[in-house]
Every structure is written in structure tokens, then in C-alpha cells.
Structure 1
Amino acid sequence: MWGSSCCGSIRRWCTTSMGYTWGLGNVGQLGHCSLQSGDKELLPRRVVSLDGVFIKDISCGGVHTCALTTKGALYTWGGGQAGQLGLGPVSGFFSCKFDESDMMLRNIPILVIPAGVQLVACGHSHTLVFTKEGRIHGWGYNSYGQAANEKSTYAWYPSPVDWCVGEVRKLAAGGGHSAVLTDACSLKELCEFRLAESVNLANAYEIEDVASRTGSDALARLCERLREHMLDGENHRLSNDEFDV
């Protein structure tokens, strides 16, 4: 039984009593049993591997999809090159796994968390969940700290996010940022979310100054990570220019 819908990059989910997907499915994001370069579904097609599973919510990322069941289980499938499936490191772009027993395993829904999940949100290349224990966990692309507290480009497994306070009402995830709405969200925290959404290289120093004066460690870390990321990219470009010369 399904009861939600979502849109991802060049694909669409529609849910009735059964789940249907259509659009681009070249890395398994549609959840069907085929996985070939250029795969696409022009018409809605049923996700047969989830027949009999009661889904209450779904979320779509850039090339991955998550489904949350009524029992709090989380299924993921699609592209996992940045760790957004929560299944650990993978090699190459395609998310399929070849072995003697399971061909193209990751183009069909895989159980990642068996119980306890209440909310799920997919960013472009990362995933967030809120559990019944009152914790937020994130994994996937983490260059700006959008998926986890740890200082790593990729968070391969669910990692707790320990800065959140209050009862979580809603999760949201974008390309390089995440947001959470709680019942204890103060005006200061709402302003921090707004600043975090608008931070870029041009205003990072000004926003970091605001963060230092208001005691916002999370916002200060975001500005620091942004500058580090941009500096690494600039150094890489300069190195390539020197090599070309």
C-alpha cells in the first residue's frame, strides 16, 4: 500500500495502492529489474519488488530513491556513488552489485534500516532520517557538512547529527545543505537556517562573523567548509594549469 509521491531528477514517483515510477532509470533509481545505460520508462511502471510492503512516505534525490514503511523500515535504491544509499563505499558510478547470487542488486529496493525511522528526506546526493529515539542520522555526500558532523567528503554509513534540539517535525535536504523544523526552533535558529541557505563564497566571511557573534558553531563550520572546498578546487585548477604549461 502506497500513499505519497515525489519528483527527482528527470523522474517521477506516483503512489496509489501500488507504487509506479517512470522517467530516467539508468542507475536503478526507478527500482525496476533492468539497469542499462539510457534506461527510461515512458509510461508508469509498477515497482514489483515492493509488492505487499506498506509504504507511508517516499523521497527522491538526484539519482537515488528512499521509501519509508508504516513499520519504520527504510528502503533505498539507485545511484550510490556518493554514499547516499547508506550501504558503504562503492566503486564506479553505477550502483549495481554483481556477484553469484545477486545480479544488479542496487537497482531494486534494499532494506537499510529495519525499524525505527519516522521521517526521511533525500538531498541531491545525501539522505537524512529522523528516528523514534529522537535522533537525526545522515549519510552521503558531505562536502559542506550537509549529511553528518564528521569532516569527510563522503559519509558512507548513517551517522548521527547531534546538534538538533526539540521534537523534529519535518526534514528537508537540498544540494549542499539540510534543514530541520522542530517544535523548539527559536528565532535565532530560524535566522541561522536562512543564512545557511544563502551562504556563498562572496559572503562567507560576513556570515561567519555573524556566526561568531551569535555563538552559532554549526553556521561557522558551514562557512569554513565552503571556503576549504572552494580553495581545494582553486588549487586543483592551478595545478592543472601548471601541468599544461
Structure 2
Amino acid sequence: MQYIFLLKQNMLDVGKWPIFAFRSPEELKLIRQACVFGSAGNEVLYVTENNEVFALGTNCSGCLGVGDTQNSVEPRRLDTLCGKKITCLSYGSGPHVVVATAEGEVYTWGHNAYSQLGNGTTNNSLLPCQISTNLVNKKVTEVACGSHHSMILTSDGEVYTWGYNNSGQVGSGSTANQAIPRRVTSCLQNKIAVNIACGQMCSMAVVENGEVYVWGYNGNGQLGLGNSGNQPTPCRIAALQGIRVQRVACGYAHTLVLTDEGQMYAWGANSYGQLGTGNRSNQSYPVPITVDKDRVIEIAACHSAHTSAAKTQGSQVYMWGQCRGQSITLPYLTHFACTDDVFACFATPAVTWRLLSVEPDDHLTVAQSLKKEFDNPDNADLRFQVDGKYIHVHKVLLKIRCDHFRSVLGNNDEIIEISEFSYPVYRAFLEYLYTDSISLPPEDAIGLLDLATFYQEKRLKRLCQQTIKQGISEDNAIALLSAAVKYEAKELEEFCFRFCINHLTVVTQSPGFAEMDHDLLKNFISKASRVGAFKN
């Protein structure tokens, strides 16, 4: 699904987008979701705290979905969508709009000259219309729009497209427009997709093993295939072999991807420096883009702009490309806290690159209530003493959440001393039982992985592996690989091995490699040889 944009305050900071200048501060406080779109950023759809949906703006092609084509500076209600939880939204250049709801339904409206609404016609639709052809019993989890074509991702990993197809962007193998949703097959037939994106006239999908498949227009090399020929069916980007991609983002004619190592690659059009390579030459192959050697956790682009942005693990936000008429050719560190602000303040037009969303916090859910009570001495009935410090918990919750505690905790226990694990590790473990998540830096997660293995907590073990991945470097890759083998963490072991192969020269010169266990070294060399790591 698309990322959800969360703020600490119980409101969205939408005031940076000019379209919201029409609304009062009191009205802005009621907004929980918003998307700014259109050729000049002059249309907006938003959802209020009571789940009502409104739109306002210039209403080109009926894209506000209010039943007519009249401009409006006052919000107008979309009755069809009120009460439905919108989970993701995308828009085209016409504009046309595609949304998915929490129930997995798809609604479209607006410009339809190329059948981009998927309703079987070429007539504009002035009201949201549910699209169900070929989607019966399918739950849609993600939507993406190009200039005049549309794409959706279902919960079972299938990709469907429709609309304008002059360059093969619907992936059908022809260049005939497609009036209704049809599943994209070819190379994707037996693949499970996990992420989708559209450029102006191209389409992309990331599958569960990290491969990227692309199709459509390629005049600027935006498909990353090493040429400029259009591609009518999905084709894997061979240049990313051995690199596991997590997300893809498409600009007007350029592409960004983010790998599971926090590395970023870019390719395609570069006349504004939107690739971040330091020059303005197009690239038809993926090239690595570095932002101050920090791990990237989010990439941002949208098909209506030539602007790129990224956020790092250290919460720094960078931008490059077309920024208010200037061409910034290298990632530039901003003062922003989120990538959304880059598009509000510097993109042309000032649109949102994703659906902005914040959940109200006036009512605490069960999960939020449990999180609040962790390590609260006021009503706890059990204390763990670790490294001389106390952690306050509740016996009943520990017994419900953990098989180990269910079997060892007694009714008379008040204080339990723990000597096998450190205080940060054991506290993170107990907090996990309250929150279902872990808050521990990658370097400390090895100890938690040890604990998860000892207590046979399979899900915690998976979360530890994900956290440890975020802290991998050339210096510690061998140590992490050793830990993965020791604790039988297969996913982490494979990740560390691939990282070592991708950074083989530096890793083999590290102290950790020289101190590597003999059997592990033997197995590493054997496995590396099988994948051709030592070939000249």
C-alpha cells in the first residue's frame, strides 16, 4: 500500500499547498486525509474527521467528482465516498482520479477520453463510479495512474491495468487502448507483486523477490533496460540482478528505486537533474545515488513533476531535479521533516505525491492503551530486575502473549531477576509483548535475536532480522552474517551474504573477515564461488 503520512499533532499540515489558502484554520484542523492534484495543483480532495469527503478547485473534466464541471472555491461533498475509508489515491493528467477503499473497492471519475476510468466507455464521469469488471472477489490494496492510464495491485499480488496504450503502458502486448481492467500477465503471470508505480506513459511493478518489471514508453530510458525502445509487455530490469528492490517511484520520465539495503538507484530523463547524478545527461541503466552515506528509507516522485526527494534513516530530507525553476543536479539537504513538503514548496505544479493521512488520537485503541501501560508502576503486578534496573509489567498480559511466561510465571511472583540478557534487550522484548513492534537500534538487535531464539518467539525473530538489516555496513557485515548463522536466522543470513557479495572487495579487507570462524569462512567462500563472485 501507499505510505501513510503521520504527524504528531491531530491534524494535517496542509497549509503549505496554495489550494488550501481558501480554507480557514478551523476548517484545516478537521482534515484527516488530503490529495492535491491537477495541471496547476488547483484541485484537491480531502476527508474530514467524521469521514466526509469533499473536493474543491477548477474541476477540469469533472475531476472533482461532484456531478458537474463547475469550478468551486467552496468545498463540495462527494456523497458516494462519504463513510468509506479511502486507503490510497492516484490521479492522471486529464485529470482522472482512482481511489481504493478499506474494503478493497475501486472508484474512478474524471477525464476518460482514453478509457482510463476502466468503465468500458470513453465518456467523462462526473461522479465516482465503482469499477468491478474482472475484479469480482478481488481486494485492491494500491492504485497508480499515469498520464492517461491506470493500474491497481490486489491483495493476492496481481496487477491490473487499463486506459491509454499508445506506447504499451498497459502491458497487453499491443498498442490498442484498453477499456476495462485486465490482468497484466506475460512475465508477471506467476509473480506476486508488492508495489506498483506509473510514469507519464510507463508502468512498473516490484515483485516479492525484489525484481523490478517495466513496460511502456521508453524514449528517455525510463524503463532502465539500456535502450530507448518501447516495451509492450513486462520486462525484468536485468541490470538490477542481485539487488533486492523494495519500492519504485516514477516521475514524469524518470525512475527511482529503493533497495532493502537502503540504497537508491535512478534512471531515465535528466534534463532537470532529477536523477541526482550531478549532471543532466539521461541514463538508460540504473545508477546508484548516494545521500551523504546515510541509509535511505523513503523515495518520492510523481508523474506530473520532474522533482525527486528522499528521506534518510537519520530523518534528513533531500530534494533534487526541477525545484521552482532551478535545476538541482545533486541531492540537496533541506530543512523539511518530510518529503511531502518538498512537493508542496518546490515542485511544479505544487501537488501531493501520495495521499496524506493522519489518524485521530482522541480515542485510544486497545493496542494504544496497552502500549501506554508498559513499564507503568502504578498498576503493574510484576517487576523484572535487569542490570540493577526495574521493568514493570502485568502477569496476565505476559501469559497471554508468550508461551515461555505462560509456563514459568507463578501467582506469587513479584520480582524476577534476569542475568542472561542486558537491560536494553530485555526491556525491548517486554515492550514488544505490549506493542507488537520493537524499538531498538540495529546494533542492539543481535541480543534481542538471541533472546527470540532462546524463547522461540518466531515473529520477534523476524522483526529482529528486519531491524538488523538496517544497520548493516561493510565493517559489520561478517559479524552479522556470523550471528545469523549462529541463531539460524535464514532471512538475515541470505541478506548478509548478498550484501557481502555486493561489497566483496571492502568486506574481505575488513577486520571481521580476517577473524572469521574457519567453518564459516569455508562455507562463505564455497557459496560465493557458486554465484561467480570470484570470476574476473
Pair in the same fold by TM > 0.5: yes
Instruction: For 1:39-50, list aligned pairs within 5 A.
Output: 39-49=176-186, 50=188
* Runs (5+) with no aligned partner, structure 2: 1-137, 334-536
| 1:108 aligned partner, one-letter code | T
User: CA 1:84–1:158 in 2, change beyond 3 Å: closer, same or farther?
Assistant: same
**What whole-Å deviation, never above 9, does each CA across 1:84-109 have from its counterpart, x for those lacking one?**
00012326xxx1xxxxxxxxxx1100
- Quote the offset at 1:30 in angstroms: 0.4
- Quote the offset at 1:181 in angstroms: 1.9
Is the Cα contact below 8 Å between 2:274 and 2:321 reproduced in 1?
no
Partner of 1:29: 169
Question: Counterpart of 1:121 in 2: which secondary structure?
Answer: strand
Distance 1:196 1:154 in 2: 13
Tell me if 1:74 matches 2:212: yes
Identity of aligned residues (%): 34
Is the Cα contact below 8 Å between 2:264 and 2:290 reproduced in 1?
yes
Distance 1:12 1:84 in 2: 18
- Quote the offset at 1:48 in angstroms: 2.2
Q: 2:159 aligns with which of 5, 13, 19?
A: 19
Instruction: For 1:131-170, list aligned pairs within 5 A.
Output: 131-170=259-298
Instruction: For 1:202-217, list aligned pairs within 5 A.
Output: none
Tell me if 1:182 matches 2:320: no
- Quote the offset at 1:74 in angstroms: 0.5
Question: Counterpart of 1:68 in 2: which secondary structure?
Answer: strand
Partner of 1:230: none
Is the Cα contact below 8 Å between 1:4 and 1:56 reproduced in 2?
no
Partner of 2:143: 5
Partner of 2:299: 171
**What whole-Å deviation, never above 9, does each CA across 1:119-154 have from its counterpart, x for those lacking one?**
211111001111223321100001111114142431
| 1:111 aligned partner, one-letter code | R
Q: Which runs of 4+ in 1 moved over 3 A?
A: 164-167, 195-198, 217-220
Is the Cα contact below 8 Å between 1:119 and 1:131 reproduced in 2?
yes
Partner of 2:223: 85
Instruction: For 1:103-142, list aligned pairs within 5 A.
Output: 106-112=231-237, 113-114=240-241, 115-142=243-270
User: CA 1:3–1:72 in 2, change beyond 3 Å: closer, same or farther?
Assistant: farther
TM-score, reference length from structure 2:
0.32
**What whole-Å deviation, never above 9, does each CA across 1:171-218 have from its counterpart, x for those lacking one?**
1114221001223134xxx4x64x9774225xx8xxx9xxxxxxxx74
User: CA 1:162–1:169 in 2, change beyond 3 Å: closer, same or farther?
Assistant: closer
Is the Cα contact below 8 Å between 2:266 and 2:289 reproduced in 1?
yes
Distance 1:40 1:177 in 2: 29
* Runs (5+) with no aligned partner, structure 1: 96-105, 209-216, 221-245
Distance 2:199 2:150 in 1: 11
User: CA 1:63–1:219 in 2, change beyond 3 Å: closer, same or farther?
Assistant: same
Distance 1:78 1:8 in 2: 11
Question: Counterpart of 2:286 in 1: which secondary structure?
Answer: strand
Distance 1:78 1:197 in 2: 24
User: CA 1:148–1:200 in 2, change beyond 3 Å: closer, same or farther?
Assistant: closer
User: CA 1:196–1:146 in 2, change beyond 3 Å: closer, same or farther?
Assistant: closer
| 1:4 aligned partner, one-letter code | E
Question: Counterpart of 1:138 in 2: which secondary structure?
Answer: strand
User: CA 1:22–1:218 in 2, change beyond 3 Å: closer, same or farther?
Assistant: closer
Distance 2:321 2:171 in 1: 33
Q: 1:199 aligns with which of 309, 315, 324?
A: 324
| 1:119 aligned partner, one-letter code | R
Aligned length: 187
Is the Cα contact below 8 Å between 1:20 and 1:45 reproduced in 2?
yes
- Quote the offset at 1:76 in angstroms: 0.7
Greater mean alpha carbon deviation, residues 73-82 or residues 16-25: 16-25
| 1:53 aligned partner, one-letter code | K
- Quote the offset at 1:5 in angstroms: 2.0
The structure with the larger Rg is 2
| 2:259 aligned partner, one-letter code | T
Question: Counterpart of 2:204 in 1: which secondary structure?
Answer: strand
Give the alignment's Cα RMSD to 1 decimal.
2.8
User: CA 1:144–1:9 in 2, change beyond 3 Å: closer, same or farther?
Assistant: same
User: CA 1:111–1:165 in 2, change beyond 3 Å: closer, same or farther?
Assistant: same
- Quote the offset at 1:166 in angstroms: 3.4
Distance 1:117 1:135 in 2: 9
- Quote the offset at 1:75 in angstroms: 0.5
Distance 2:255 2:182 in 1: 25
Between the two structures, name the one with larger relative contact order (CA 8 Å, sep ≥ 6): 1
Distance 2:278 2:227 in 1: 16
Partner of 1:214: none
Distance 2:244 2:146 in 1: 25
Distance 1:5 1:52 in 2: 20
Distance 1:84 1:144 in 2: 14
